[in-house]
Amino acid sequence: MALSQHHVDTVLGVVAGRLPVDDGASVIQRSWLRCVEHYGLDPARRPDIRIENASRVRECIQQNEEHLRVARAGMEQLYKHVSDLGYVLLLTDAEGIGVDYIGNDTWDIALRRAGLTLGANWSELYAGTNGIGTCLAERTTLTCHRDDHFYIGNVGLSCTTTPLYDPQGNLMGALDVSALSSPAERESQHLVRHLTTLYGRMIEDANFMQQFRDRWILRLGTAGPLVDVCGELMLAFDRDGVIVGANAGARRQLRLLECARLDEAQRAQLVGSHLSGVFGTRIDDIWRLTRGSGRDDPAIVTTWDGHGYHASLTAPRIVPAARTGTERERPLPARGETLSQLSGGDPRMNQLVERALRLADKPVSILIQGETGTGKEVLARALHESSSRAERPFVAVNCASIPESLIESELFGYMPGTFTGARSKGMKGLIQRSDGGTLFLDEIGDMPLALQTRLLRVLSEREILPLGADRPIRVDLNVIAASHRDLRKQIVTGTFREDLYYRLCGATLLLPPLRERQDQGYLIERILREEAAAQGADAAIGAPALALLMRHDWPGNVRELRNALRFALSIADGEAIDVHHLPPDLAEAAGTGERVPDVAPAAVPRATVVPISAARGDAGVLLEALRRHRWNISDAARNLGLCRATIYRRMKRYGIVSPLDQA
């Protein structure tokens, strides 16, 4: 009784400011203050344990089914480490209501009496200062050890709790590890605190992986070989490099490039921004990773402010929902593009568009070939939108990124009861989801042979047999396949079925690489306008920057061009794009090998804004001609119907210097 009175006096003394505030316990003391002043609680009373009714708990469980499934797996592992030490685990929602629990049956009654049970509401409002309620109020991992608790009835407990966030940074709830009795020393809880934090982060990361299983995931860490299994920082992004999720580590440590337009809070807002805003100079390194760097050690990527991290990239495990036609969260910039807009006058593109227009509504399978980033999916989508199937789904499947173990169920689907656990409900496969529309099989050359056989059956019989089904389902679909590989070579090496190849290539469309296209100026103009509109900026570019773009080799093709323009626009911060706004690797790449035409400052002041159409009409055309003729001035002049002197004059005006003159 004397001890109880001492506890009550201590709490009330701190609240009244009569007792010195201990620095280490200030989180607890802040909570005591809230309990007395905001919630009007009295530490001398025994708390009534508030148990929510079953339907409230059920509703909460249903709403967070996926999160709870992942958390349960983490709790089971954690329990193995702490059960012998007398701890029980409680998982709560964001309001502090117990939604899952692992404990020891032999203490059931004591645990229930203490409120360590399903449905118990541990928010400070009802339970006073305690591990869960205070962790949720303070949003931090903490140990509420014995007489840290507000109510005398709770001072036997020792609770360590960590908050759990979803990948968007919203509070989901808390993971709590509690003991009914524990040694008096606070230090006795250190190990439990580490374990609780570790498992909390593991649950968050597993939730992250689950939520973004249809996206690229970049893990960053400081321990090289471990980064594959436990990247401390994680970013999920779409195929255009736009960040769609960031885990707690990434949100804490990464900031967007310093730039006048963004204040501190906006620079912390990673979601919705482009990867180039985080990695400034090294965006291409990341894309190189996506294509497999061939290195044994994890690659190192560097943030714009010079922090190097080991990096590991995971390809989407299932097809992005946004690409299936069932969800349209962020339209691809080129979506809706009609076929004729794909060419800006390049002879090979003109021919391709003409052919595509004739094929769009024919019942022929089309095979699109072209280097990576040349726009195979953009072309497939344009074919779909120019066909009578335009209103039906366009379902894109990246055969290279779905793990072999999942590809069959993803493509063909499965019936209810085929699997246990979260997959018990059954799922329509991607082929069935494209019924009536277009199935786009990207990177078809990477499809495993066994599945090629099954796909061949689908294409010839137009019916599928989902896993666990006893009757086939008819499907009506148009198939477009694409690959950057030479499928005929694969037939020779035995990695691609010849009969499937002939099924798929009723017609072949070959997209030229960007470096060989004569309509680069048109593409730059269009993409610049699109990207500028998306960023709310003006689409203006200076002649020297344009000249550099026109000279670049574009190994990543149109994707690389779009990324470069997006990067430049965000760095230019409202000014016309200048050379120094472009990604440095562009200038570096041009600096080695073929040199970038240096800008003669007197001839083209840095701030000169050349409306892009004018630039294209002059500097762009000139550059194209010079490149085509390998910088032979006479040939270029003849080709353009100008005299050599005019060519020289214009080169001077636009600051174009031949690489032959720079050696």
Ligand X SMILES: Nc1ncnc2c1ncn2[C@@H]1O[C@H](COP(=O)(O)OP(=O)(O)OP(=O)(O)O)[C@@H](O)[C@H]1O
Binding site for ligand X (CB under 6 A): 240, 332-334, 342, 370, 372-378, 442, 484, 527, 558-559, 562
Q: Which two tokens stand for residue 498?
A: 């010849």
The closest of 82, 7, 17 to 44, measured between CA atoms, is 7
Cite the beta strand spans of 484-581 per DSSP E: 507-510
Supply the minimum distance, in Å, between the C-beta of residue 376 and ligand X.
3
List of residues 6+ apart from 93 with CB closer than 8 A: 60, 64, 99, 172, 173
Q: How many CB atoms lie under 10 A from the CB of residue 207?
A: 22
Supply the minimum distance, in Å, between the C-beta of residue 522 and ligand X.
9
Supply the minimum distance, in Å, between the C-beta of residue 511 and ligand X.
7
Q: Judged by CB, which is closer to ligand X: 100, or 519?
A: 519
Q: Judged by CB, which is closer to ligand X: 200, or 370?
A: 370
Supply the minimum distance, in Å, between the C-beta of residue 623 and ligand X.
20
Supply the minimum distance, in Å, between the C-beta of residue 504 and ligand X.
16
List of residues 6+ apart from 35 with CB closer than 8 A: 41, 43, 124, 128, 129, 150
Q: Judged by CB, which is closer to ligand X: 433, or 562?
A: 562
State the amino acid at position 208 in one-letter form: F
Supply the minimum distance, in Å, between the C-beta of residue 346 and ligand X.
11
Q: Judged by CB, which is closer to ligand X: 137, or 528?
A: 528
| DSSP per residue, 166-212 | -TTS-EEEEEEEEESS--S-GGGGHHHHHHHHHHHHHHHHHHHHHHT
Supply the minimum distance, in Å, between the C-beta of residue 489 and ligand X.
17
Question: 492 vs 329, 450, 451, CA distance in Å?
Answer: 42, 17, 18
Instruction: Write down the H helix ranges in 599-632.
Output: 612-615, 621-628
Q: Pairing relation of β-strands 308-314 and 216-221?
A: antiparallel
Supply the minimum distance, in Å, between the C-beta of residue 333 and ligand X.
5
Cα-trace Rg, the chain: 31
Q: Judged by CB, which is closer to ligand X: 147, or 442?
A: 442
Q: Judged by CB, which is closer to ligand X: 227, or 378?
A: 378
Supply the minimum distance, in Å, between the C-beta of residue 405 and ligand X.
22
Q: What's the rounded Cα separation, in Å, for the pair 286 and 9?
A: 59
Q: Judged by CB, which is closer to ligand X: 333, or 555?
A: 333
Q: Judged by CB, which is closer to ligand X: 342, or 395?
A: 342
Supply the minimum distance, in Å, between the C-beta of residue 442 and ligand X.
5
Residue, CB closest to ligand X = 375
Tell me if 111 sits within 8 A of 196, measured CB to CB.
no
Supply the minimum distance, in Å, between the C-beta of residue 323 and ligand X.
10
Beta bridge partners of 92: 98, 174
Q: Judged by CB, which is closer to ligand X: 75, or 342?
A: 342
- Helix/strand/coil for 273: coil
Q: Which two tokens stand for residue 470?
A: 């006893």
Cite the beta strand spans of 370-454 per DSSP E: 394-398, 413-414, 427-428, 438-442
- Helix/strand/coil for 220: strand
Q: How many CB atoms lie under 10 A from the CB of residue 601?
A: 10
Q: Judged by CB, which is closer to ligand X: 137, or 339?
A: 339
Q: Judged by CB, which is closer to ligand X: 401, or 434?
A: 401
The closest of 452, 442, 440 to 490, measured between CA atoms, is 452
Q: What is the DSSP letter of 599?
A: P
Supply the minimum distance, in Å, between the C-beta of residue 293 and ligand X.
16
List of residues 6+ apart from 6 with CB closer than 8 A: none
Q: Judged by CB, which is closer to ligand X: 282, or 376?
A: 376
CA 433 remoteness from chain centre = 24
Q: Judged by CB, which is closer to ligand X: 149, or 239?
A: 239
Q: Listing from the earlier edge strand, what are the strands of the sheet with 158-165?
A: 98-102, 87-93, 171-179, 158-165, 142-145
Supply the minimum distance, in Å, between the C-beta of residue 316 and ligand X.
12
Place of tokens 């117990």: 98
Q: What's the rounded Cα separation, in Å, for the pair 26 and 613?
A: 64
